[in-house]
Amino acid sequence: MTDPSDPLLFMMGKYEALIPQDRVYSSNHLWLQELEPGLYRVGLTSYSVRLLQDVYFLEWRVDAPMTLRHKQEIGEIESSKALSTLYSPADGELMRFNEQLLDDPTPINTDCYGTGWLYDLRTGAIMKQPSEYVAHLDEGWEKTQNMLKGQIN
CATH number of 27-128: 2.40.50.100
Rounded to the nearest 5 percent, the helix, strand and coil shares of the chain are 25, 35, 35
Q: What is the pLDDT of residue 13?
A: 82
End-to-end CA distance of the chain: 42
The model carries a pTM of 0.88
Burial 87-124 (b: 16+ CB within 10 A, else e): bbbbebebbebbeebeeebebbbeebbeebbbbbbbbe
The domain segmentation of the chain, as residue ranges, is: 27-128
What are 31-84's pLDDT values in tens digits?
Answer: 999 999 999 999 999 999 998 989 999 999 999 999 999 999 999 999 988 899
Q: What is the pLDDT of residue 153?
A: 38
